[in-house]
Structure 1
């Protein structure tokens, strides 16, 4: 009896939530493609889809359960096919690797500007024509739609919508691959970028068209460029000009690193990314305004109700704002979600329903399957789900006081509900996010954003009136900025002592903590809501990541993928050593801060016992200041102490020590004080002959000098190692035959940049290693390399790209 009742309940639940199962099947199919190294083959999938359709036709209506199962499989297969089509486009639209570092003449229109300073401008160019010369001087026309370019020391300003002809050096899209960190290759694929490169210095770029006035608009990008230039001119250097441009036009190129950092620390970065909050607000405002005006026309009310009459106007306003903001992926996603709400009203269906929610998810992923991999996708739909869950059964707020309490409660619920997701994607949280957003969201959405858009539109008609409105918006933004800075200062002073460090490292941990957050934020009537706190305990109870050394005699070596540079970490059970910190590429990207520090924090390591800087070149020491901002360091040692006077450092004198049963030996080339900075590099040997040797950037002459001093009488125990870091990134004048024979490694790891201008590692060097049957790993090809040494000297290794190969890599 009980079993029958349980079975009936399960069948009823499955039937009532059938739409949910179909959406899960669709998303599962899309997710499968994102886990594959290549686009899925179309023909087998079509054959399987045909067989499933035949099965459904044959079984209908005799076996409804089997029909549902086959229909779910078919839905998942259709999702796989849709994502496979996008994957094929991503692969086919990329520059061929034979054209890496080729010089090309391209002509196109500026689609967006990522950053613009006196020293460098980074922008996206929509390609109209392209002509390249490959290494054999053969001319070709690559099939690329967009290129992301860097213009170093530009002598001209770049504006949105301008058309340029320029000589550039291009290469295939490629990003650094480090586990759990930002995937630049994926970001480029989501933006449709087919090549990256820089403006060559040999030929001056030629501007083909200037931004015109209102009578000369030929594209949305040109309109945005014109409005951005006028807005900047009207505000005349106001400190909030970049914020107003970001809100009104989606142009964030003017935001300085300090402003970006302040928004990140206050948890308000989402407010300057045009997304659902902004587009929904503008669409809803015009919708409400048009509906109100429609009510003043009684005859029209007899034919069409005011909410339905106002829906198309609201949708057009939302679409216009999405286009004006650059129509980036967050804006596309938000417009689709708003379109579902408009459609529900027109069809007289419930707007805030499960089916509307699920339909929006399907349409967003149908439009752009790669949206599934965006944090914004999950945060947007997660916020809607949390709000709906928390407000179930609650009556609408009445009166200003009740409305204020409702706003505070909703914002608190969103903060709690999205905390696990935010930690999973970004591995950090803002301790002042809740009070910051309680003030910033209404100020931005109800005051600054409407005034910014109104002023921008008025500016075209009447510059004086538009300027006055824009100035008011900028002043309000300035007051908000002061409040946010006060909160950030308060949070930074309180965080070390009052707030624990929270982490979400795995999907299982995410599911458990998300369940706890939803339980805690549950509506009235759900029993024991306070027990949701127990499910949040994994946020503060951490374990080291996979492969972390946890026993005496064991250690992990991680050679980070940092491009043309070097940064590696060695962790024992209780200690951390960092050797080199990579380059500082710009104020927005610092290897020490954004790769080395974040990688250690993800593994629960917040203190570095010893930091070794081989020498002071930027590709080895540039990330030092960024690393020191994030982590505490016990001792800094370098081979060129006179060149690192901004910190207290020690010279690279020969020394030995032991951590957790692991032997360390630090030394340098004898009598190298008068040599080159490369040959003054500190050398590090860990784990003895069964461990690793890190020789920095020493040259062939330094190798021979080391062999003469330390490799006496055929006794190679002073230098031999199982793993060797290839000297000087695989330079042609390093890794001499005698050196390789003396070290006798099993694995060699070289840290180099993809298609770098130095041609590292040199083909002759690679040949030397392979002739000796040494496994050769290049971070440019395999990503970050992790090698685990146990107390028996046996090693295991894996790479970022090898462990998780993806088609966009």
Structure 2
């Protein structure tokens, strides 16, 4: 596509230095834990152009000049990115409004997302009042309007009024309960706060829908969100005309970008077969759409002599193609990957129109600069790196292949053109077709091999059937399903044919995903090792001598063979996951692992098991030996089904009753005081409940039957307590044997810090150095209660709250420290919990 890179002149080297500096400045700013004051960034933004103007005009591009240009670009990008972040932060939700009922009048700004839990939508406030006084809100809110069925499941029975038919562009007057964006912070977990930051959302809320609350008021339909309204109308047509739910979900994702329409199980299939990039509005879809639109527009333009005299047909085709592609991206939701692709296409088209024959490193560099100056935080997204690494590899391999073919033809050794000249026309066409197929297969193989370390670095999973799956799925989805899906918008009957095509796709992918060796799951490596492995993977596919390529094998193998460090013999570690209102603690010894509780169920379609624990367990390469469920409450067993299904070897120890649904999945053993076992020199003992408590009449409530697990290596001790309350605490304190076992270095705070637990007598017996509170941010129960916090302070205990700490890790080898995820990996976009 572009000429091979010539020997760069001084001006070219200056351009490369400037582009590298801009990228380095953005990367450096994204590493900041906290933002500086605005004028610091402003100074860098103002002074950097002056420095560049002073040195970039030098005729001789010396190393000193290039260094100064790089510094100027770095300073400008660092300051501009920081200044944008400061402006955005200053528009955040006032903390004084959190938990308050605010009347807000505004417009539904995007296509609402219907779920089993209710409906979610983006809401653009126009005016807001609190107690009759006007207040300022962020420009965009993420609002949930829940059904009574969901809220009963989530223990919020006061929300009873079901949501109305919310449509994009509607103006509503709603009473909202506001909250700052707050997500869980776990190792290798999804950064929800960064996601909302990139979306421009600075507050979340839910509609106050109690029977006593004022009725939400629909004020009318506006035309402030016409594209979103058209998308919603199209999605409803798809769901109405397509009876098969799987097909309808995929078509809705391809046409309007509604990825929530795809079932979670189908996403598992797509990830296992490595085709997730095809079933959302990705860069490939938009690029193929642009290619087709360019071809058609160019042919149409050539039919008019008058038009061709005004603008060359090639230029017109490129411009119209990228314009139509951007329109498609806008209609599909204008997601971050779509924005990134449109900017890349615009950059390439601009270079073609102005006749700039840049070498591919220049194109890749300055396309990345344009994309990141538009959205600096895209640098933290996997899609950004996957896209640019893939494009760069294709450029290198295609340039090398074309150069080799040209040399072969010039010397007469290639012979392909000579051979084809003697062929009949059908034979030549067939030969060109085979050559194209082989080229596509080679490109897919090169991309798959080169990106495998990068995919492993981001996701901890590589599809071993991805090459075969993509060889079929890429042309099938791009050339068959997507065009049929789009044509159905104008002629719904076409969706019938699209449904058949989707059925064939699912049949092939289901078969591949069912293979026992379909995926390779490995622990997520440290970033430095992952980057080294990515460099090795790229080196393996570059058109270099094999002796040089072989140097890439070592870093790739190092990444594949890496395993997370485990406690030494006789030591153990605790990882209290950040799962909101609930308990989930991962315990590891040198050769064994135990999960104490499995967190809450968030909704009818989401729980802590699928959202937090399974990704964490997979990233750490953990095989559970035992799952302990302290008792049957939803905030302790909500994620257990997902964990047990993915960990079939794990035994289940619990106080749940014999009729509990989990018993059908895994028969449990009762936890009873006196049970004891030893793993790798570490002693595990159950202290509660007594065996007779299960038959006690009247029957004890679930909290009273909570399993209490003591873990000790003889030097350090941890006590995991579930939801025991004052009677159980006093019972253990009063029993001489149990009381002698209560002293602990770290304590999982009983009942999340409820006022009914953590009695003074119990705390005097335990005297913990650290106490872990697993509770949700601004939870409705007020956990941990203020009196409870005072009791822990009175005994000199370090209280660790999960909303402020995130995931907390404690090691018996370093008993004085508790590592907090939010503190160790601090970012300025993260919620600063008061």
- Report the TM-score, using the length of structure 2 for normalisation: 0.87
Structure 1 residues 52 and 386, CA gap change in structure 2 (3 angstroms): closer
CA distance in 1, matches of 2:227, 2:54: 52
Counterpart for residue 3 of structure 1: none
Structure 1 residues 690 and 237, CA gap change in structure 2 (3 angstroms): closer
Counterpart for residue 579 of structure 1: 596
For residue 432 of structure 2, the aligned residue among 386, 399, 409 is 399
Counterpart for residue 777 of structure 1: 800
Counterpart for residue 603 of structure 1: 620
SS at 2:259 equivalent: coil
Counterpart for residue 642 of structure 2: 626
CA distance in 1, matches of 2:309, 2:135: 64
The answer to whether the 8 Å contact 2:462/2:520 transfers is no
Counterpart for residue 702 of structure 2: 677
Matched, 1:767 2:790: yes
1:89-134 deviations in Å (ceiling 9; x for gaps): 442333222222222333333344574244432333333333345x
Kindly state the Cα deviation for residue 422 of structure 1 after the two structures are TM-superposed: 1.2
CA distance in 2, matches of 1:663, 1:139: 60
The answer to whether the 8 Å contact 1:42/1:81 transfers is no
The answer to whether the 8 Å contact 2:254/2:280 transfers is yes
Structure 1 residues 58 and 27, CA gap change in structure 2 (3 angstroms): closer
Kindly state the Cα deviation for residue 173 of structure 1 after the two structures are TM-superposed: 0.4
SS at 1:611 equivalent: strand
Counterpart for residue 539 of structure 2: 519
SS at 2:581 equivalent: coil
The answer to whether the 8 Å contact 1:90/1:808 transfers is no
Matched, 1:410 2:443: yes
CA distance in 2, matches of 1:218, 1:501: 43
Counterpart for residue 724 of structure 2: 698
1:237-283 deviations in Å (ceiling 9; x for gaps): 56412221211111233222222222222222211221221111222
Q: In the TM superposition, what are the counterparts of 1:362-381 in structure 2 within 5 Å?
A: 362-381=369-388
CA distance in 2, matches of 1:46, 1:287: 42
Matched, 1:27 2:23: yes
Kindly state the Cα deviation for residue 56 of structure 1 after the two structures are TM-superposed: 6.1
Kindly state the Cα deviation for residue 617 of structure 1 after the two structures are TM-superposed: 1.0
The answer to whether the 8 Å contact 1:341/1:351 transfers is no
Matched, 1:554 2:575: no
Structure 1 residues 585 and 54, CA gap change in structure 2 (3 angstroms): closer
1:749-780 deviations in Å (ceiling 9; x for gaps): 10010011111111111122123321111001
SS at 1:104 equivalent: strand
Counterpart for residue 657 of structure 1: 677
Q: In the TM superposition, what are the counterparts of 1:706-725 in structure 2 within 5 Å?
A: 706-710=732-736, 717-725=740-748
Counterpart for residue 189 of structure 1: 197
CA distance in 2, matches of 1:186, 1:217: 27
Counterpart for residue 473 of structure 1: 498
The answer to whether the 8 Å contact 1:502/1:539 transfers is no
Counterpart for residue 591 of structure 1: 608
CA distance in 2, matches of 1:693, 1:238: 47
CA distance in 2, matches of 1:303, 1:119: 56
For residue 422 of structure 1, the aligned residue among 448, 455, 471 is 455
SS at 2:20 equivalent: helix
Counterpart for residue 92 of structure 1: 90
Moved more, 383-392 or 397-406: 397-406
Q: In the TM superposition, what are the counterparts of 1:52-63 in structure 2 within 5 Å?
A: 61=58
The answer to whether the 8 Å contact 1:562/1:582 transfers is yes
Structure 1 residues 501 and 637, CA gap change in structure 2 (3 angstroms): same
Kindly state the Cα deviation for residue 504 of structure 1 after the two structures are TM-superposed: 4.2
Q: In the TM superposition, what are the counterparts of 1:184-583 in structure 2 within 5 Å?
A: 184-202=192-210, 203-209=214-220, 219-235=226-242, 239-350=246-357, 353-395=360-402, 399-456=432-489, 458=490, 466-489=491-514, 491=515, 493-495=516-518, 501-523=521-543, 527-530=547-550, 532-545=552-565, 548-549=566-567, 551-583=568-600
Kindly state the Cα deviation for residue 582 of structure 1 after the two structures are TM-superposed: 0.5
Kindly state the Cα deviation for residue 54 of structure 1 after the two structures are TM-superposed: 6.2
CA distance in 1, matches of 2:245, 2:563: 48
Kindly state the Cα deviation for residue 190 of structure 1 after the two structures are TM-superposed: 1.3
SS at 2:200 equivalent: coil
Question: Where does the alignment leave 5 or more consecutive residues of structure 1 unmatched?
Answer: 1-10, 459-465
The answer to whether the 8 Å contact 2:571/2:589 transfers is yes
Structure 1 residues 348 and 50, CA gap change in structure 2 (3 angstroms): closer
Kindly state the Cα deviation for residue 567 of structure 1 after the two structures are TM-superposed: 0.3
CA distance in 1, matches of 2:807, 2:10: 44
Counterpart for residue 165 of structure 1: 173
CA distance in 2, matches of 1:597, 1:21: 44
Kindly state the Cα deviation for residue 608 of structure 1 after the two structures are TM-superposed: 1.1
Structure 1 residues 232 and 758, CA gap change in structure 2 (3 angstroms): same
Structure 1 residues 552 and 413, CA gap change in structure 2 (3 angstroms): same
Kindly state the Cα deviation for residue 87 of structure 1 after the two structures are TM-superposed: 2.0
- Report the TM-score, using the length of structure 1 for normalisation: 0.89
CA distance in 2, matches of 1:703, 1:681: 11
CA distance in 2, matches of 1:331, 1:500: 29
CA distance in 2, matches of 1:331, 1:188: 17
Question: Where does the alignment leave 5 or more consecutive residues of structure 2 unmatched?
Answer: 1-6, 149-161, 406-415, 417-430
Matched, 1:129 2:127: yes
1:428-478 deviations in Å (ceiling 9; x for gaps): 12222221111111111112212222331x2xxxxxxx0222322232122
CA distance in 2, matches of 1:225, 1:645: 42
The answer to whether the 8 Å contact 1:420/1:514 transfers is yes
Kindly state the Cα deviation for residue 15 of structure 1 after the two structures are TM-superposed: 8.4
CA distance in 2, matches of 1:610, 1:262: 28
CA distance in 2, matches of 1:217, 1:193: 18
Moved more, 629-638 or 648-657: 629-638
Matched, 1:737 2:757: no
The answer to whether the 8 Å contact 2:745/2:815 transfers is no
1:132-156 deviations in Å (ceiling 9; x for gaps): 45xxx97634234232424234453
SS at 1:240 equivalent: helix
Counterpart for residue 819 of structure 2: 798
Moved more, 424-433 or 217-226: 217-226
The answer to whether the 8 Å contact 2:298/2:313 transfers is yes
Kindly state the Cα deviation for residue 218 of structure 1 after the two structures are TM-superposed: 6.1
Matched, 1:648 2:667: yes
CA distance in 2, matches of 1:757, 1:289: 58
Structure 1 residues 379 and 521, CA gap change in structure 2 (3 angstroms): same
The answer to whether the 8 Å contact 2:33/2:827 transfers is yes
The answer to whether the 8 Å contact 1:752/1:780 transfers is yes
SS at 2:101 equivalent: strand
Matched, 1:152 2:147: yes
SS at 1:585 equivalent: strand
Kindly state the Cα deviation for residue 366 of structure 1 after the two structures are TM-superposed: 1.0
The answer to whether the 8 Å contact 1:577/1:612 transfers is yes
1:160-191 deviations in Å (ceiling 9; x for gaps): 44443333322110000001111111111111
